Amino acid sequence: MLFGIKQFQQGWGGAPESLRLLAKHLQEIDIACDVFDGRGLHRDVGKLDLLPEPGAPVSSFDFGDVAAYHSYWQAGPWQHPYRTWRIVRAMAPGQLFFYMPRGGLADIEFRRFRDLKKFPYYSLIERRILTRADRIVFSSEYERQSSYRARSVRAASIVIPDFFQNADLFTLAEERALRTQSPAREGGQLTVSFLAEIRPLKGLLPLIEGFIRFVRATRLSSRVVLKVAGGLRPGSRSYLASVQDMLRQSSDVRIELMGPLHHADRKTFYAQSDVFVVPSFSESYGLTVLEALSAGCTVIAGPNIGVLEYLPNVSGLTVMPAVNASEITRALHETSSQADFSLSARTKRRESAQLGIDFINRLALDRFGSFLR
């Protein structure tokens, strides 16, 4: 199978990692996957343990080889139109074409003034891709229902959750060396964390405002810290400036902007996090929710996150009714006062999360298996 994606490397959000995990599971049922990302061809990506580093070498890609694959899967919108046109033109008669929007066609992506530039591209390119596709593959029912006009396209659609593989977690002994047991109750530091691109959709501003209200109301400024990790999304400099202005006005509250987080550092980041917040206004799936839960963190999430539909009974997960500063403050109050942050409690949350992860992977494998037979 051949996949096309804008960038297949570290630092480009959850879509490349989801694709790597998909290829890894398909490899287990003897389906090999190559990925073309514009720079070139990544071969047998199901054998990769990590996404490629930026600038890693790739193989040359010959468009004439497209017809040799079982099918072509395009992951994500807004790709180079000429490249997509050449791939579609090179496909053999009857060769299957699947389209995975990856949240890029969500209604919320078409609401700002600056989004007007997307409409000509959508009308000329994306609409044709949706119509040309033999099947549209969504990662959640939420993604299917919230995609811009995708429901009106004739191509049949299917929902297949993204596979997930647990991160390389610390043992309890290793984690004990990194953190203080029961930090919220025994005088240690309570760490609230955020990991996402810095852009409006991810909800960082209401998180910071809600966190500031929480700290000032509880008078815990010396014991609570918010760690913000993630790179800046192109075109979001004014949003970052607003974040920095809010921090300058709140020097009494501990908030750390860490910048982009290297993939190898995620293990330590999650191990040192007590409360992990996903305040996104919309996520087609939401891979970080699973990452944080599998590491034993207590998680606070917004309601419009696709993966939540697969996790109805996971412990340590609080879903807010809406994403705003007031709801975040309320959730932080409840979590900090009621949750158990000891290592034994983290272990129980890991075990509960694993049940949900096993269900997701079984469902995905079953749907892919029946889908490809």
Q: Map 204-217 to HEC letters.
A: HHHHHHHHHHHHHH
What's the pLDDT score for residue 186?
47
**Is pLDDT of 322 > 50?**
yes
Q: What is the mean pLDDT of residues 28-52?
A: 91
What's the pLDDT score for residue 317?
96
What's the pLDDT score for residue 149?
67
Confidence of residue 106 (pLDDT cuts 50, 70, 90): confident
**Is pLDDT of 123 > 70?**
no
**Pairing between β-strand 41-42 and β-strand 34-36 as defined by DSSP bridges:** antiparallel
Q: How many CA atoms are closer than 13 Å to the CA of 258, on its beta-carbon side? A: 18
The residue ranges of DSSP E strands in the chain, in sequence order, are 2-5, 34-36, 41-42, 71-75, 96-100, 135-138, 156-159, 190-195, 224-229, 254-259, 275-278, 298-301, 317-319
CA–CA gap between residue 192 and residue 357 (Å, rounded): 23
Max avg pLDDT among 41-50, 223-232, 320-329:
320-329
Proportion of the chain in helix, strand, coil states, percent, rounded to 5: 45, 15, 40
**Is pLDDT of 181 > 60?**
no
In the chain, the domains with their CATH numbers are: 2-164 (3.40.50.2000), 172-358 (3.40.50.2000)
**Is pLDDT of 332 > 60?**
yes
**Is pLDDT of 280 > 50?**
yes
Confidence of residue 185 (pLDDT cuts 50, 70, 90): very low
User: How many Å from the N-terminal Cα to the C-terminal Cα in the chain?
Assistant: 14
**3-class DSSP assignment, residue 192:** strand
Q: What is the mean pLDDT of residues 122-149?
A: 82
Q: What is the mean pLDDT of residues 37-48?
A: 92
Residue 289: which of 309, 261, 262 has the closest Cα? 309
